[in-house]
Chain A
Amino acid sequence: MVGMCGMLGLVSLLIMGIFLFDKTKENLAQAIKYSGFMNLLLLTLMVVSEENEMLLMKWEWVKLGGYSLSISFRYDMYTCSFFVVALYVTWNILIFSFYYMSTDPRVDLFCKYLGLFLIAMLLLVSAEGFFQLLIGWEGVGIMSYLLISWWYARSDANTAALQAIFYNRIGDIGLVIMLVWSLMNTSDWTFTSLYALDMFNVFLVVGVVLAAMGKSAQLGLHPWLPAAMEGPTPVSSLLHSSTMVVAGVFLLIRFSPIILMNSYAQAGVFLLGTMTTLFSAICALAQNDMKKVVAYSTASQLGLMVTAVGVGVPQLAFLHICMHAFFKAMLFMCSGGYIHGLQNEQDIRKMGGFLFATPITSSCLFIGSAALMGTPFLAGFFSKDPIIEAINISNMNSWAIGLVLVATSFTAVYSFRLMFMGVGSASRMFTLQPMNEEYNNLVGPLQRLCYGSIVAGVVFIYFLIPYQVSILSLPFTLKLAAIMVTAVGGLVSWDVVKLLHTSEGTVNVNYLSFEAQVGFYSHIMHKIMPKVWMTLGENYQMQMIDRGWAELTLPQGFGQNYKLLADNINQTQTALVKMYIAIMMLILMMMLMLIALS
């Protein structure tokens, strides 16, 4: 059964690749849609047949001496589920971009880029050999660059795209370390042989974590993620839901058997995730750009996924990837609808009261935010609540757990603030804005993703359960901890809104500027650090060495000294034969004396 499913899944991937060459973008969308439905069927077959095994298909591509590069396809529950989610979400994003990019003259190319982005991600997810993993990984990176800089005439878009590339390059160093280590230590450069090795290695794990940090924008390598909001909204939607940013988390999930071997590595991953989720949640509180709020919430959720890997439940991290894809894609589409309706105004201080102007979009924003917060029985609840629960019963110290809970409650704070500023309150937009949602290509995807955000959790929790035996009896407070902190966050959000937007007179805003300036990280890393390096380079390398010692001693100094020598030598050419003979005889005598003495 799994063999047939795997074959069909691979065939659907290839067919989509063929449709990338099709002239009309609608055909590509149809291909992605039917692939998604076929993969849903395959997933059903796999679940019903209850064969929890995997299929490996290997095709030897290049033979290099004693080594071969092979494209190998790994089809297991992760691959199958991710195919369904990614194809479904991408189909809707493509339809949405017909609406959002309808005035763009290059919309066909744009849709092809989106399709290629998706295929690169699917290649990454279905990779068994590390060679294919590398292709998918770099493919995702390149497509993200091309898509973020889609509006290439804007300098901000170019800067953001370059930021994405640079930060990902740092992560790629880690990936290369991992690749090289496994090339040297495994038999055939695949996940299977790496698992079979059953060995913990510091280089390997540090490389993997660094790679995941870059791709998934964990704390330290995070600034590119909010900057990537310069791209068109469909790009943000795809980038933040089912491709690119979850690639890092997915890599951690694939490597989790090795990471979880060592308690220090596990704790390191846990702390990395915790700090990311807390930092991003804090930064999301005071953002005024609607897309940036959603972007920081993505970063925060990514941190939560990494935390889940660190706490030993990678299956739940994967479940959260799948759930997150639905509602995050939808949240971005809602912001896209607003931005379009307001003629490219993204500031939430100039929104408000959209519940009456755009009821469907606003309802979807509400449902998406509710799912994000982990409201019971929506999609986010089924992944987020078990993760918090797993963190609560893990043996991490309570300070770390407390920070995660604070971050979780902040999710509610910024979500409520976003809804209040956008959907609720009074309208603060300019009059005569063409705000409406009478577009099938906007409402259709929103509705479909909305259904997904509501029911996906119930479906997926059926087969994506952790392997570990869970504790069935929990104290009442711990069991309800996630919901309680979310509720508290919801209450606090009102005060936050008052503090930020409705308070009269002066308030002490130092901590607010920390939040609004996202921890001054960009300022320190992008302004001060380059300035320090520039100064060092200018003063020491350039002025002192290159223009100073190296220039004056070697080329200039040699030139001067040789000129002096040459002048002296020419002085000896006196054209007086008597002098010449005298010198010759003198030298002859000296040489004879020297020889006699020696």
Chain B
Amino acid sequence: MSPYISPLFGLAMGSSVLLISSSTHWVFVWLGLELGTLAFIPMLAWWHSSLEVEATVKYFIIQAMAAAVFFFGGLVMTSTEYISGLSQFVGNFGEVLIMFSIIMKLGLVPFHYWVVDVVQGLNYLPGMVLLTWQKVPGLMVLVQLVSMQNGLILLIFGALSAFWGGLGGLGQTQMRKLLAFSSIAHLGWLVSGCVVGTMLGSMYFILYVVLSIPVFVFLYILNNTHLNQVRASLVSNPVAAMVVGVGFLSLAGLPPFMGFFGKWLVLTWLLNNFLVGGAVALVVGALVSLFYYLRVSYMCMVILGPQQIMVSLSWRKGFMGSLLGGLVVLNLLGLLLVGGISSLSK
């Protein structure tokens, strides 16, 4: 595909978010969602490999089905309540249907099966966009749907998601599947945060994006798709390996890094709202997922692989050092956030 057309798709994806955020009617919300999806699909199949095309088709089918459910929900709502404003919902089927369609689009746990397959088929960079930017439209709708009943459902799914994401990654040796499960687990935290407070959810999402981008980028540079390749990364490209290792520690939520503060924030707010069960479930899920995060970090930062000769010493490239510095500092921004977060009003 010609690279000159990609700005058009990017523009469409951006305007889809604008459309969603500025509309008050569900039809236009639906339109925005579809615009974002359709603009993204050509980018998924950028290199035209068979795996990518298969993943793209799967993504399209699932998204189309979710869009159908969304539309159906909107119709149900209009026909039963005669209310078309999204923010004036009371609990009914239409609203629940719309919420489930958004959950399908995001890939929260009972509807998450496609995420792993799609991410496994894609290259790292489209995968990164899929797991970060493409969540924005869905989340923007979701935060408007939180009511008492929906909140309970979302909390249960969120906790389940954190746990499921941890368990799914335990036996994985494929890096992209690991990242997909990690994303599912983080989505669980994110949704729980959204239930407690919109700003909290946004905060968690921003933290997740900031700390997962370097991981994706450097895995792309390393071109590792399997754990065995990761094992050799410290020799072939120590800078990238260190960034990936630190990034995984941060994703795991270990204290000096930024990932910890997002999780801490969510836990604090959950406990302040007396949602102890949800908090415990999230923590247990994080503990399970810690296993594979630590395994990857260990392979990236501690083990020296067997290949000692015939490696291209790409770490000699000067820009890598500054990039590394910037990204590690970004990950360590958590240290600066300590004061601000600990003084948050309860």
Give residues in A with beta carbon < 8 Å to B: 562-563, 565-567, 569-570, 572-573, 575, 577, 579-581, 583-584, 587-588, 591-592, 595-596
Contacts and interface: CB of A to CB of B under 8 A. Distances in A.
Interface string B65-81: 10001000000000000
Q: Looking at A566, A575, A581, which has the most chain B CB atoms within 10 Å of its CB?
A: A566
Given A566-B171, A588-B69, 5 more contacts: A566-B170, A577-B58, A583-B113, A584-B65, A587-B111
Contacts of B288: 562
A183 to B, nearest CB: 38
A563 B153 contact: no
B346 to A, nearest CB: 32
A25 to B, nearest CB: 58
Interface in B273-287: none
Looking at A570, A575, A577, A583, which has the most chain B CB atoms within 10 Å of its CB?
Answer: A577
Nearest to A565: B167
Nearest to B100: A588
Interface of B: 58, 61-62, 65, 69, 93, 96-97, 100, 104, 110-111, 113-114, 116-117, 149, 153, 164, 167-172, 288
Contacts of A575: 117
A573 B58 CA distance: 13
9 contacts: A562-B170, A563-B170, A565-B167, A570-B171, A570-B172, A573-B168, A579-B113, A587-B111, A592-B96
A595 B113 CA distance: 23
A570 B96 contact: no
A595 B149 contact: yes
B292 to A, nearest CB: 10
Contacts, number: 59
Contacts of B153: 591
B168 A566 contact: yes
Contact of B96 (A565, A573, A591): A591
B168 A569 contact: yes
B167 A566 contact: yes
A577 B61 contact: yes
A565 B167 CA distance: 7
A595 B96 contact: yes
Contacts of B104: 584
Contacts of B168: 566, 569-570, 573
Contacts of A588: 69, 97, 100
Contact of B117 (A573, A584, A595, A596): A573
B73 to A, nearest CB: 10
A580 B117 CA distance: 11
A569 B93 contact: no
B294 to A, nearest CB: 14
Contact of B167 (A562, A580, A584, A592): A562
A562 B62 CA distance: 29
Contacts of B100: 588, 591
Nearest to B92: A595
A562 B65 CA distance: 33
Contacts of B114: 577, 580
Nearest to B117: A575
Contacts of B97: 588, 592
Contacts of A572: 113
A58 to B, nearest CB: 47
